[in-house]
């Protein structure tokens, strides 16, 4: 039996000291040891309240149930006050279970759904059970009993039981360190990440050639096995077992010993593959870098404003002077010069040279003979028509006027 809603994980045998004591116990007599005996059968009982434990240490495997055996003796018929407390390392003790005025109370701790009294309290058997133990359940469990009308001794009314929850080893990991070639040395290692107490390791070679190993080749605490001067016959399956008081777990590894030539070929292939991969990666990086640089250069050139750009040239047709303007200018030069000198004289004309410099230079005009007379009338040089206002042609030429040449007429009325 236990408290409501909580039951032991399995049926435990009744403690060897009995399930209870008779309702009355005489005060006469001296205290006796209850180990292996039923005190009421001996007819002797302690005169004061006393709490007893079946053992001072209890071990349990994680996940299984545990029982902490305890009972008390008293001459009183009153209901006791019972308290179970837990004290962990480097922590204060706290209450987990109480019995007061006929009621059982489970305190709000992580043990609440897993703890209770194994037997009815009135039987004087106050053993504690814990279901599905965990590693952190380990610690000192302190039981204290108090009866109202009984003689209480601070020392005898308290008992302590140490609970240790053992943890089986987790599946270990087997590894090989070294190159397994003929004549070389290798080390096999085995390690488990969990286990309480710390597991010990044992290596052995499996069938068809079974073999066990001993120190110094094997280190059971560290889980290492050193194999020296390898030969082809040492190839095979090697198994490691990690074990402690809570259980065991195994792992295995296959050792394949290669000859020296095979080892060199394998090493060369590996190095060649690594070198090829490195080369491909190098050239790929260079190509990608070149393309990226080229793309960035094109984008910068498109966005850059060039300060040294050449302005567009003016079309040649806008720079060349019209032919009629040149001819008119030349005509103006001829008219102006002819008024001041006789026909045939050819002094150099400043106006003519300046105006003809915009076109092609023809040099000073050459003297020529008087043109023959037409219809018997002598040739006369053309006279410029005076513009309105009476301004001389030279003033008009400087003002930018264009002279108009009027052909002369003979006396007969024909144009010359």
Residues 205-230 have a mean pLDDT of 93
Band of pLDDT at residue 131, cut at 50, 70 and 90: very high
> In the chain, what percentage of residues exceed pLDDT 70?
59
The answer to which of 39-53, 143-157, 179-193 has the lowest mean pLDDT is 39-53
Cis peptide before 216 (omega within 30 of 0): yes
pTM beyond 0.75: the answer is: no
Residues 6+ apart with CB under 8 A from 128: 67, 68, 70, 84, 97, 115, 116, 117, 118, 141, 143
Residues 67-87 have a mean pLDDT of 91
Band of pLDDT at residue 24, cut at 50, 70 and 90: very low
Q: Using the predicted structure, report yes or no on whether residue 44 has a pLDDT greater than 80.
A: no
H helix intervals, 20-122: 39-42
Band of pLDDT at residue 139, cut at 50, 70 and 90: very high
Q: Using the predicted structure, report yes or no on whether residue 346 has a pLDDT greater than 80.
A: no
Q: Using the predicted structure, report yes or no on whether residue 94 has a pLDDT greater than 90.
A: yes
pLDDT digits (tens, 9 = 90+) for 161-216: 999 999 999 999 999 999 999 999 999 999 999 999 999 999 999 988 889 999 99
pLDDT digits (tens, 9 = 90+) for 278-302: 888 888 888 888 888 877 777 666 6
Residues 313-318 have a mean pLDDT of 56
C-alpha distances in Å from residue 178, one per residue of 189, 270, 274? 11, 16, 20
Determine how many CB atoms are found less than 10 A away from the CB of residue 173.
14
d(CA 201, CA 243): 7
Q: Using the predicted structure, report yes or no on whether residue 359 has a pLDDT greater than 80.
A: no
């Amino acid at each position: 039996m236990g408290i409501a809603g909580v039951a032991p994980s399995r049926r435990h045998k009744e403690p060897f000291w009995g399930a209870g004591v008779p309702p009355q116990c005489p005060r006469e007599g001296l205290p006796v040891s209850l180990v292996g005996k039923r005190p009421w059968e001996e007819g002797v009982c302690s005169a004061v309240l006393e709490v007893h434990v079946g053992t001072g240490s209890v071990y349990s495997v994680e996940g299984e149930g545990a029982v902490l055996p305890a009972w008390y003796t008293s001459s009183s018929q009153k209901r006791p006050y019972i308290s179970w407390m837990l004290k962990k390392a480097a922590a204060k003790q706290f209450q987990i279970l109480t019995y007061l005025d006929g009621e059982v109370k489970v305190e709000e701790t992580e043990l609440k759904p897993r703890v209770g009294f194994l037997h009815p309290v009135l039987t004087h058997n106050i053993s504690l059970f814990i279901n599905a133990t965990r590693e952190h359940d380990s610690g000192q469990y302190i039981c204290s009993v108090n009866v109202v009308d009984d003689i209480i001794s601070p020392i005898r009314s308290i008992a302590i039981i140490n609970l240790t929850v053992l943890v089986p080893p987790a599946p270990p990991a087997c590894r090989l360190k070294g190159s397994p070639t003929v004549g070389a040395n290798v080390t096999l290692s085995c390690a488990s990440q969990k286990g309480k107490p710390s597991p010990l390791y044992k290596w052995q070679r499996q069938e068809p050639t079974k073999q066990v190993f001993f120190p110094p080749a094997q280190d059971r605490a560290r889980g290492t096995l050193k194999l020296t001067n390898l030969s082809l016959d040492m190839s095979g399956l090697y198994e490691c077992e990690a074990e402690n008081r809570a259980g065991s777990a195994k792992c295995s590894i296959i050792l394949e010993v290669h000859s020296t030539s095979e080892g060199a070929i394998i090493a060369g292939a590996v190095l060649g593959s690594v070198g090829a991969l490195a080369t491909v990666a190098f050239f790929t990086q260079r190509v990608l870098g070149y393309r990226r640089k080229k793309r960035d250069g094109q984008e910068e050139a498109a966005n850059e404003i060039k300060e040294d750009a050449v302005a567009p040239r003016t079309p040649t047709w806008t720079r060349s002077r019209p032919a009629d303007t040149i001819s008119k200018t030349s005509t103006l030069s001829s008219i102006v010069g002819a008024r001041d000198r006789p026909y045939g004289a050819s002094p150099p004309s400043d106006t003519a040279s300046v105006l003809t410099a915009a076109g092609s230079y023809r040099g000073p005009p050459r003297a020529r003979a008087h043109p023959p007379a037409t219809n018997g009338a002598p040739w006369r040089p053309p006279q410029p028509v005076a513009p309105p206002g009476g301004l001389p042609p030279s003033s008009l030429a400087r003002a930018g006027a264009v002279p108009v040449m009027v052909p002369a007429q003979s006396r007969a009325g024909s144009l010359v």
